[in-house]
A and B are shown apart, each in its own frame.
Chain A
Amino acid sequence: MFKATELNLRNEQREKRWRLLFLLMALLLILPVLIILILLVYRGGPVISWSFLFEFPRNGMTEGGIFPALLGTIFLVVVALVFSVPLGVAAAVYLSEYAPDNWLTRTINLAIINLAGVPSIVHALFGVGAFVLFFEFGTSILAASLTLGIMTLPVVIVATRESLQAVPHAFREACWALGATRWQTIRRIVLPNAVSGILTGIILEVSRTAGETAPIMFTGAAFFVPFLPESVYDQTMALSLHLYTISTQVTGVPEDLPFGVALVLIGIVLSMNALSIAFRVYLRNKKKW
């Protein structure tokens, strides 16, 4: 009874071969990540030191450190978040909790999808037109951060909306039936239970923003600034642009220097990702349903 026939056996062989093929393809994915990391650590690792992190570049950026660029990147990202997080979360709360299904809502949703699809260089041009020229912020941290902020807005909105919608509907209904208004329901039940997802989305977004070059290149980041930014109206250096500059625009840069900069940049991104994962695990364990 139930003995495998010739056909069954042949199919089983085939099954194994396909499975192996797919596994190999999946493993292949690890390869580029691994190579990049190894290369960066191997060549960039020796470059990194306290003075590299905390000194100004010297001698036409062929020597010295990356402090203004490091600080500039942090500055740009923080200002971008100050702008995009409140706006994005508020918009997502409206779309998920209040918006009726009508043409206005559909238009807003369409706009978000399209905004997410706009290439970053186009955002850069928009930033120049709107913030640098029209609002007369000049090339400044403010203009660059607003450009970054607009670029990250769709991601913040989508991450927030998804986290809000992951909160079971039964909780909302229970609240309403007790006489809570929508806002009371959102503030006391929905947001507290969605916050882990929202924060994860934001942190992931930070790591992406930190690496962007195009949107800041024309709007507020400069190749070289001999002083640290003092206000949002100053120009600043940024890691991503600095990497581009010393790799392609100046001569006489030691070969390993760009790898050091890249390692710092990737270090920021990866540690942000790690933070977001740790955070998610922590909050998931605290979940109450």
Chain B
Amino acid sequence: METPPPTPDAPDVLANTEIAVRVKDFSLWYGTFQALFAVDFNVKQGIITSLIGPSGCGKSTLLRSINRINDRLGYVRTEGVIEVLGKNVLDSDVALPQLRKQVGMVFQRPNPLPLSIRENILFSYTLHTPDARKRTKAEKDQIVEEALREVLLWDTVKDRLDHSATALSLEQQQKLCIARLLPVKPRVLLMDEPCSALDPEATAAVEELIWQLRGEYTILMVTHNMAQARRASDECAFMLMGKLVEHADTAEMFVTPRHKETADYIEGRYG
């Protein structure tokens, strides 16, 4: 697949130097097993940052620490700071529903809820809108249409909004999983290998979609696929065995990696 054509506002996006997610000296233990070692990592606002590294190096763990979805595991312990939009999300006064409203997550395996397409889109909206019940149908229709248009799914599904979401193709499911985050206007989107369950064509389509969301949302995308990181991200970070080894402009990293480990990985010398 070719690199998508740069959007008109691309220069602005890259000129932005504000930090959306700031990970400072962050370590994490699963029980006695340390999975992350003093990670320092800044994710810039409005661009796509990809996170690469061999399987088991802690990419998902880092991602899942940002929206604290790992919290439910009773045996996880952390040290350090993760700031999202300037607030340390590990503080005890952080309300998880609010955090997760601002920080949406897309999973490896598309996981639409066993509801209709419409209900999937309205799910988080209903959770986060105090008087959601009282909103008119027209208002909700509007929300559904907007979200589906934004993920380029509207024309395909507009006639079957009340059909089950789990009957869609994997590509459509994954797009729906992105769409259902949008009605509550998140600032950051975390994506954990969003294309790894898809065939090459679907991967291209979803990648293109992600590229379109760039600018409006800060996107942090874990990927196993180096070609994908290279063509679909602005910056790239490389992790190895729980440590963040290198973080640079994607183009720069793939041409002139600063660390030997990065070079080795990029050239395919790890699994």
* Interface residues of A, Cβ cutoff 8 Å to B: 100-101, 170-171, 173-181, 184, 188-189, 193, 287-289
Contacts and interface: CB of A to CB of B under 8 A. Distances in A.
B180 interface: yes
**Which of A175, A178, A181 is the most central at the interface, judged by chain B CB atoms within 10 Å of its CB?**
A178
A170 B109 contact: yes
Contact of A174 (B74, B107, B128, B164): B107
Interface residues of B, number: 31
Contacts of B112: 174
Contacts of A176: 69, 72, 100
Interface of B: 67, 69, 72, 74, 96-101, 104-105, 107, 109, 111-115, 123-124, 127-128, 164-167, 177, 180-181, 184
B113 A174 contact: yes
Contacts of B96: 179
SS of B interface (majority): helix
B67 A177 contact: yes
A179 B177 CA distance: 14
6 contacts: A173-B111, A174-B177, A178-B124, A178-B127, A179-B128, A287-B114
Contacts of B124: 178-180
Nearest to A181: B97
Contact of A177 (B69, B74, B114): B69
B127 A184 contact: yes
Contacts of A101: 74
B132 to A, nearest CB: 12
A181 B98 CA distance: 11
B97 A189 contact: no
B166 A288 contact: yes
Given A100-B74, A189-B114, A288-B115, A178 B100 contact: yes
A188 B122 CA distance: 13
A206 B181 CA distance: 44
Contacts of A184: 127
A103 B104 CA distance: 35
Nearest to A287: B114
A181 B101 CA distance: 12
A177 B109 contact: no
B104 A189 contact: no
A74 B113 CA distance: 39
Contact of B181 (A178, A188, A189, A288): A178
Nearest to A176: B69
B97 A179 contact: yes
Contacts of A177: 67, 69, 100, 104-105, 107
A289 B166 contact: yes
B113 A173 contact: no
Given A174-B113, A184-B127, A287-B114, 6 more contacts: A175-B123, A177-B104, A179-B127, A179-B128, A180-B127, A189-B114
**Which of B100, B111, B180 is the most central at the interface, judged by chain A CB atoms within 10 Å of its CB?**
B111
Nearest to B103: A177
Contacts of A287: 114
B122 to A, nearest CB: 11
Contacts of B166: 288-289
A78 B181 CA distance: 45
A170 B128 CA distance: 21
